[in-house]
Amino acid sequence: MATITSVQAETAGSEASGEHSNHLNHLITEGSNEASLGFDTRSALEIARIINHEDSKIAAAVKRSLPEIALVIDMVARSLRDGGRLIYVGAGSSGRIAALDASECPLAFSTPPQSVQYIMAGGPKALASAVEVNEDSPELGHRDMARRRPTRKDVVIGLSSSGRTPYVVAAVEYARARGAKTAAVTCNHGAALSEAAEITIVAQVGPEVISGSTRMKAATAQKMVLNMITTGAMTRLGYVYDNLMVNLHMQNTKLVERGIGILMRACGIDRETAVRSIKSASLNVPAALVMLKAGVDKPEAMRRLAKSGNNVRQAIEDTVLEL
């Protein structure tokens, strides 16, 4: 465990070398929120109202970065299409948000686990236990990213509410030096992470209700952004048909029922026909959908899906379009 003295010494060394010119007390995410002054004297309902009012600002903050988000969506889609990976890197709340998004992609879109990954300061144990001292080490960020061997096929996205986390900045710098495409998700303008990455998404949500508690508005904004990136990329790849999650992995009863419902809705068929179609497609919803929509058998449906890179709409139309 780092002592106060060791942390002060490391901070002083970093400042002397010019690594962290953005001191925390100058960051918007660390500022005092006038709306929550006297917060500890408020009733439970007043506390809830203040938090809810501040939360209502998050979507507008994210909206201002939609052009940059769109660029990252297409960047990730191209990478995954070409056999690359999306690798998130974060610390603390940002790292936990990244881990959540990465872990949900295989279930929602049937992507291989290695396609969307996360790197967390402190390792997997940091998901449940506070080991935030690791975020102060650029050496650890460099080391952990090096272990993933990023290449020009990959996209690396660094997440940091402050935009100055040494671990994350160093990891993104390393990945970019190895040719990977890079992006940053932060809640402050002009941060070191922005300089390290090619594209920066800034969701400037303002001071937190509890000063510096970036697990609140900042973390929510980051989750919104990551949801947009992976959902957008998977949709661009054709893993969504209309607004239906057709590429889901049916590994439990709920998801089997969802797959049946998707076929019923997309094809206008009854439940019995949907069940029969899914069985004939070996529980492969995209194949069943192509079979029904294009009027082809399973081998032809699988051929079309392979040709289109599992883009369901293109497989139905038997075309291949470039992103």
Q: Which residues are catalytic?
A: 104, 135
The pair of structure tokens assigned to 153 is 């096929």
Task: In whole angstroms, give the CA distance from residue 116 to residue 169.
Answer: 20
Task: In whole angstroms, give the CA distance from residue 130 to residue 92.
Answer: 7
Positive or negative CA dihedral for 120, 125, 128, 130? negative
- 155-160 and 116-120 beta bridge pairing: unpaired
Q: Please name which of 262, 184, 197 lies closest in space to residue 229, comparing C-alpha atoms.
A: 184
Residue 183, beta-bridge partner list: 157, 199
